[in-house]
Structure 1
Amino acid sequence: MQRIPLAEYAAKRHARTAQKLGMSQGSLSKAIREGRSIFVIESPDGSVSALEEKPFPGQRRQSSPNQCTNNNPSGFEASGIEVPVQSSSTAGGAI
């Protein structure tokens, strides 16, 4: 078995590599662009698989200046302005 970095294995043949790994070409390109630590393993029978190495326990990669740093799980950043919200049942007025 041979272990090859994904970017090296896929050089100039992203579509074929993506097909062999069962993924889209866009996903493959994004993984390479983000610098993820992924290795392709070639078996003697010609089959390929991929393995991603990640730091343990769950340490984040250093963020690049282009990455969003919003850690809010809702996906929205707080604006700093508090807006009062009324429940529709207490808003007053009949329908």
Structure 2
Amino acid sequence: MTARILMYATGVCPYCVRAEQLLRRKGVSEIEKIRIDLDPVRRDEMIARTGLRTVPQIFINDEHVGGCDDLYALDHAGKLDPLLA
């Protein structure tokens, strides 16, 4: 898989872990993780980009796909693999 994955996350978020596990199972080897718990400026950036305060917030090739539940919904609908290709 060659898609660029960016994930805003925190160090103790179980949903972040679940989302990363799904992406790894799909063959994603590189995930750019931005730890918003360590960098408040990046938290503000995430909110400005998504309008949301919860993590994870996931981007695939600069397209915001949402959080963990949204990622799993994409997978169940058969739409995640084409985004990752």
In terms of fraction of residues, the more helix-rich structure is 2
In terms of fraction of residues, the more strand-rich structure is 2
Shared fold per TM-score greater than 0.5: no
